[in-house]
Amino acid sequence: MSGFRNDNRWHERDLMVATQIEARGIRSPTVLAAMREVPRHLFVPPGLQKDAYCDYPLPIGEGQTISQPFIVAAMVEALMLQPTHRVLEIGTGSGYQTAVLALLAQEVYSIERISRLAARAASTLASLGFLVEESLAEHASAPAHQLSGSEGNTHTDFLNRSGHIHLLVGDGYLGWPEHAPFDAIIMSAAPPEIPRVLYEQLAPGGRLVGPVGRFGSQILLRLIRTPEGPDFEALMDVAFVPMVRGVE
């Protein structure tokens, strides 16, 4: 990957990856490269951009956060993505993790229940040159539309070397059945337990990674869909916002 090596915050991303991510055990060369590529400061509010490459989550509005860089890298690495994979992301948030996924997979289907966050993420991703297609939940009144990374963008660097991003304003508990099955599913918010419907949208051999449990007692799990049923692996203790039903 080439990317934003000439922008004035490249060195901060490089230091972030070296000290917060690689030093803590992330080994996937493609994940490390993607984390160096995506300009995290563009996905946080302007007043917090000075803290964008620090090792902690940051608020992004609407009561939501952008996860700390290490957690994003650890979750994405656990998916074991291949360039041909189709990924479902539950919780677009700022769109930062969506961008990382799009550099590693062929298609990223991302669901966000808060329409204002979804619109902001779509705008940021398109401005960076990602090809973004927005959809709306069936009960929403506005028409679906597309954002092309080649129109009105501030960068075009990612346009021809990233996967297609599909954004849906919808309920993550329902998944995106029209486009299932998925090779991988990643949850950016914590349900009390993994929703059965998401498991059923996994392809055979597919992996689901996400936090599970109540706040204060959450664990990051990796689930693999096997012929014998779900195979669970506990990865680490985490603290995520709760996964909420419905759409705002």
Per-residue model confidence (pLDDT) at position 217: 86
Residue 24 lies in a domain: no
Which residue bears the tokens 């930062």?
96
What tokens were used for 95? 């769109």
**Residue 49 forms part of a structural domain:** no
Does the residue 5 lie in any domain? Answer: no
Instruction: Provide the CATH number for the domain around residue 139.
Output: 3.40.50.150
Residues of the chain by 3-state class (helix, strand, coil), percent to 5: 30, 30, 40
| Residue 112 scores a pLDDT above 90 | yes
pLDDT of residue 98: 97
Q: Mark whether 162 is an active-site residue.
A: no
Q: Give the chain's mean pLDDT.
A: 87
Instruction: Indicate whether 112 belongs to any domain.
Output: yes
Q: Cis peptide leading into 57, omega within 30 of 0?
A: no
Q: Is the pLDDT of residue 221 over 50?
A: yes
pLDDT value at position 161?
60
pLDDT digits (tens, 9 = 90+) for 189-204: 999 999 999 999 999 9
What average pLDDT score do residues 220-242 get?
93
Q: Is 91 left (phi over 0), alpha (psi -120 to 50) or beta?
A: left
Q: Is residue 182 predicted with pLDDT exceeding 80?
A: yes
Confidence of residue 246 (pLDDT cuts 50, 70, 90): confident
Say if residue 3's pLDDT is above 70.
no
State pLDDT tens for residues 50-81: 999 999 999 999 889 999 999 999 999 999 99
How confident is the model at residue 158, as a pLDDT? Answer: 61
Q: In this prediction, what percent of the chain has a pLDDT beyond 90?
A: 74
pLDDT digits (tens, 9 = 90+) for 113-161: 999 999 999 999 999 989 898 875 543 333 333 333 333 344 446 655 6
In a domain, 7, yes or no: no
Domain extent, residue 214, equals 66-238
Q: Is residue 58 situated within a structural domain? A: no
Note whether residue 135 is domain-resident.
yes
Q: Is residue 153 part of a domain?
A: yes
Which residue among 2, 67, 94, 141 is the active-site one? 67
Number of domains in the chain: 1
Predicted pLDDT of residue 206 = 97
